[in-house]
Amino acid sequence: MALPAPSIKGFTDVVSLSKLKDPVDLSIPNEADIPTMNDVFAILGKSQETPDWRGARVQVGQWNEEIEDIERVRNLSVPIPKKELEKYLNGSVSLSYQTSGESDLAISSAQLEVRIEP
């Protein structure tokens, strides 16, 4: 089961590096069905099993004192260092994210194919 594709706020299929802040925030759709105990991280490259680059893990859930339970973080994003995208300058790269929990079974999102320009 693939999760919905990520996005980069303000860009669709062409990303201008000069207009990006560092790090780049890869947005995870709120409708992505990810368990709150899982982590999520960005990946770059066509192969989701052996990506060109894998980012730092970000926790999907956060403790809520009011309801005394873990709830999913809304408007979640994962960082991609700008220098990683610079490697694809004047070319294309597939961006996606993976999530994994205690079982370490990774579930991948659909890929967002973008062209990287200066």
Question: What does the alpha-carbon distance between residue 37 and residue 71 come to, in Å, rounded to a whole number?
Answer: 9
The answer to whether position 2 is within a domain reads: no
Torsion angle of C-alpha atoms 82, 85, 104, 58, degrees rounded to 10:
20
Domain extent at residue 77:
14-117
What is this structure's pTM?
0.90
Report yes or no on 9 lying in a domain: no
Mean pLDDT of 68-73: 91
Collapsed DSSP state (helix, strand, coil) of residue 56: coil
User: Does some domain include residue 8?
Assistant: no
The amino acid present at 114, given as its one-letter code, is V
CA torsion, points 55, 45, 8, 104, in degrees to nearest 10? -40
Which CATH number goes with the domain that contains 64? 2.60.40
When comparing pLDDT for 74 and 102, which is higher? 74
The verdict on residue 85 lying in a domain is yes
Is residue 103 domain-resident? Answer: yes
Number of domains making up the chain: 1
Q: Does residue 41 belong to any structural domain of this protein?
A: yes
User: In whole angstroms, how far apart are CA 34 and each of 13, 74, 117, 118?
Assistant: 25, 11, 32, 34
Question: Over the stretch 27-68, which tens digit does the pLDDT of each residue have?
Answer: 999 999 999 999 999 999 999 999 999 999 999 999 999 988
Tell me if 6 is assigned to some domain.
no
Residue 75: inside a domain, yes or no?
yes
